[in-house]
Amino acid sequence: MSVALKDLAKVLRSKNSGPFQITVDVLFDDISKYERVVKANIFTEENICKLYNIKKEDICNIVFFDRAMGIKVTTNRKVSSGTCGDRDVYGAQQHAPLLDVLIP
């Protein structure tokens, strides 16, 4: 049965990684949940591009921290933090596209 990522992750958040990048953190409190998500292979450049409507070159990195049971995705911001047109100065709402991603 598939489960939404938001129901498996203990922490699912985003924040600025400087004024020009956003980082999404996905943290787990159970190794089996973390391994399930990693095995589902949803954190690929292709999927991140689709979810965030960005180009591959806008992905800075996708990192899996096995010891910490965490995943970090850093992307370039479309608009730098605090400039005209920025609707999320702190980058705190940018994890939303991942909330309902289904994990088999």
- Please tell me the predicted confidence (pLDDT) of residue 32: 98
For the segment 9-15, the average pLDDT, to the nearest whole number, is 98
- Give the CA count within 13 Å in the CB-facing half-sphere of 16: 13
Is the distance from CB of 24 to CB of 61 less than 8 angstroms?
A: no
Q: What's the pLDDT tens digit per position in 94-103?
A: 999 999 999 9
CATH of the domain at 79: 3.30.70
pTM assigned to the model: 0.93
Number of domains in the chain: 1
Is the distance from CB of 91 to CB of 77 less than 8 angstroms?
A: yes
Distances (CA, A) of 74 to 1, 3, 18, 44, 100: 29, 24, 11, 12, 19
Distances (CA, A) of 46 to 32, 42, 86: 25, 9, 25
User: 10 or 86, which is more confident?
Assistant: 10
Domain that holds residue 61: 3-103
The span from the CA of 49 to the CA of 57, in Å, is: 9
Query: Six-digit token pair at 82?
Result: 């605090």
